[in-house]
Structure 1
């Protein structure tokens, strides 16, 4: 991938990409997406158990 940076999984929010004038650069590798989704599930399971939603 040409793009680099961080993904803040504990700070998920909705972003208006048009308002921020974002430009699509590239698609992330499927392996990376799978890893991120697994981590997101883990974070939200812990939050749900703590807050008992």
Structure 2
């Protein structure tokens, strides 16, 4: 199964501050895919300056 992470950063007024997609490749199970997505979300937040 190939997986793509989709990340959207919104502020409390529901305005989109940033959005991105990351191809995660083949993942063994949904837990691994979720962990990789969380890591990519943290990295994206750091790159955006949050």
Task: Please identify which structure carries the higher helix content.
Answer: 1
RCO comparison, higher one (Cα < 8 Å, 6+): 1
How does the TM-score come out when normalised to structure 2? 0.48
